[in-house]
Every structure is written in C-alpha cells, then in structure tokens.
Amino acid sequence: MTQHIAYSLVLSLFLASTSAMAQDLSARVDKEANKVAEKVIAWRRDIHEHPELSNREFKTAEKVAKHLKSLGMDVQTNVAHTGVVGVLKGDQPGPVVALRADMDALPVTERVDVPFASKATAEYNGEEVGVMHACGHDTHVAILMGTAEVLASMKKDLKGTVKFVFQPAEEGAPEGEEGGAELMLKEGVFKNPDVDVVFGLHINSQTPVGQIGYRPEGEMASVDGLEIKVTGDQTHGAYPWNGVDPIVTASQIIMGLQTIVSRNLELLKGPAVVTIGKIEGGVRSNIIPEEVTMIGTIRALDTEMQEKIHQRIREIAVNIGESAGAKVDVKITKMYPVTYNDPELTAQVLPVLERVAGKENVLLRPPVTGAEDFSFFAQEVPGFFFFLGGMPRDMEPKDAPPHHTPDFYIDDSDLTLGVRTFSDLTLDYMNKHGQASGQ
C-alpha cells in the first residue's frame, strides 16, 4: 500500500511538472507569435496579391526559402517541382514532426474589393485566365512561415526535429504532369530524417475567426475520377431500330448510378457521392452517334464504401450496356485517399487545441465530401488535419462566399491562432513522445 501511494505521488508530481512545462512553453509561444503577427498578415497579403498556379509557384517558393534560410535552417528547394522543405533540428533528441502548408492558387478571377486583390493572369489548359488564392493557401503559407520563426526562436527547447513542408499543386498538377503531396513523398520528403507524425491545417471561409474545427477518422472524402465510354451502332435518327443508341444507354446508366448511394451503401458509416459532370456524344440532331463519353467524380469517407462504389459502377454500367446491345468501358482513376485523422493522435491533441483556442471554440465538425491531398501524408504516418476559422465574426455562414469562387474572402486578423496551434501541437508531441526512432 505504501509503495502504491509513493508511486501515485511520484506520478502526480511528474504530471504536474509536465503540465507546468507545457503551460510555460505555451506562454512563450504566445509571446513569440504576437511578435510575428504583423509579418504573418503582410506575408499573406503579398502572396495573395501575387498568386501562382499549381507547379508554377516560383516566387512563392523563393519567398519561403529565403525566410527559412534566414532562420538558419537546412533548406531544400525544387522538391516535386517547386516545393520547399526546411529542417529545424532542436538541441535535444526526440521525434520528427512535419508541418505542412500548400502554396498553389486557382484559375479564378478575383472580385473581392481589397487593396491586395489579385490582378494576376496565367495560362491554364491553353487559355489565359485570372489567378486567385480562392481557397486560402496564401494564409497557410504565411501561418507556416510564422510558425517556423516561432519554433526557430525556441530551438534550445525543441526535443526533436521539425520539417516545414511547403507543398505545391494541392489543387492538382497540370495535365501531363505529376505533383502535390504524392510526388513529394515519392521524392523522399518524409525521409532523412524519417517523419514520425504530420500536422496540417486549412482555413475555412464559413467558420468564424477564432474557432477550430476537427474530426477523428474520416474527415474529408476520397476522390476518384470516373470515365464511362458507351459504344453503340451509329444510324439515322429517323430509324433508331437499325442501330444501337449510346445516348439512351448512357442516360439509363446515369440514372442507374444514382441508386448506388441511395440503395447499396450503408450510409450510417458516412456520406458518399457519385456525380456525372459531363456527357458528350453526337454531332447533329438526326444522327444517332456511335459513341458517348461520360466523366464524373466519386467521393467517399470510408475505404470499404469506396471499393463498393467502384464495384457497383462497373456492374451497373456494363450490364445496362449489355441489355441495350452496347459495349461499355469503365475507367476509374484513384486520385486522393480519404483524409484520415488518426483517432489516438486526435485524442492526444484535443487538449492542446482547447488550451490554445479555448474549449468553447473547438468544435467537432461533420465530415465533408471535399478532398485534400494531405491524405497522402496521413497514409504514411499518423496525421492530424484541422480547420481554422477565417470568416468575420459578424457574418453568418450562409452569407460567406464559399471556397473556389471569385468572391472568396478571408478575415486575416487572427492568423496567429494558426501559428500558436501549429507550434503548441509540435511542442506537445515532442514533450510527450521523448526520443523517437525518427531522429
């Protein structure tokens, strides 16, 4: 009994000491984050004014690399085309923590009336287009640059190594090119030293400033490309019985696909989507064409459901085609996996989020059918991805312009919440996990 009491006392003292250390480091993070607050906003607005498309983030990468080098880091450039990786080795041994920010903008012409609005243009798929940070990646870059400065100032207290991963082409590489998180991993971004855990964030235009959203397990959907080619028998439009009509067959396939989600999936596991976004075939009104092509997207929050969707698409499309006398070819291209938050890691970091933002400002989010290629990183090592509020506090979510639109707007008055969260997540993980194999 005496030994048990002694053990309990030692454990209590250890936990109290650990808690006090965490509070002390968190207070130092707050102080350092406040020092860089104005710089973070300035970086964000400069990057917003000068956006660059996927795999073309040359000036952004140059800006990032210059900053990381000024902090004394080992810096690698031209990773997966334009990516930048900075390595900050703490003075004490411990795990390797990766922090990720994506850098690319979108082919969208900005309509927001701000002094730093984008006037940039570029070529996209052979067309001249406006370019805009219509998904907030400019804020991600600025936040991670600020985090790098904060953690570099605390190098003596770092029990491990931090890899700052500035990623190109999250929105997808240009046609005919590789890019994004998948290519960075191919090129060894999580090696030398080996990464133990990865954290990422995304700004959200419909979540109030000061709030953080998260979800354990499937948080964002997998995304797969879908192409269905229906080959019939061309004939005169006045004599359809002389041929096989691929347009009617394609229409039946589209309607059949809509039963997959409503009738074949256990939706209590999570939402799913099967969408046909384009159908093309024929040249004039009185000719039944030989071929029709459909393209679409598949979304799922559960990998078993994802495979079930693939199976049912093939069965439905091919069998409907055979019943009509047509040949059907189905091509499914896996693009991004489910963005999955490791449940154990999520439970570990939740107190950190609540400490940084306040418990009332940390909200459990429903899953979303949008996708993120952070998912590739979280397949390699345990990962945690969270959402940061960017909507003005006096605005209603229904009135906030959504992502990927010309009116997309972010209130950047409290980007330091992202800096503090990244920094505290890193320090907390290092302090809890001690010396790990990755160092």
| Residue 204, phi then psi, degrees to nearest 5 | -135, 125
Beta-ladder partners of 341:
217
CA 151 – CA 159 distance, rounded (Å): 11
Alpha helices in 283-394 (DSSP H): 303-324, 343-357, 374-380
Q: Say how many CA atoms lie within 13 Å of 386 toward its Cβ.
A: 28
- H-helix or E-strand containing 214? strand 212-214
In the annotation, is 372 catalytic? Answer: no
- List of residues 6+ apart from 299 with CB closer than 8 A: 221, 222, 223, 271, 272, 273, 275, 369, 371
Radius of gyration for the chain, computed over Cα atoms and rounded to the nearest angstrom: 25
In the annotation, is 170 catalytic? Answer: yes
Q: Which of 104, 182, 196, 342 is catalytic?
A: 104
Strands (DSSP E) contained in 32-106 are 74-79, 83-89, 92-102
Question: Given its phi and psi angles, is residue 169 left (phi above 0), alpha (psi -120 to 50 degrees) or beta?
Answer: left
Q: Which of 138, 170, 372, 414 is catalytic?
A: 170
Catalytic sites, residue numbers: 104, 170
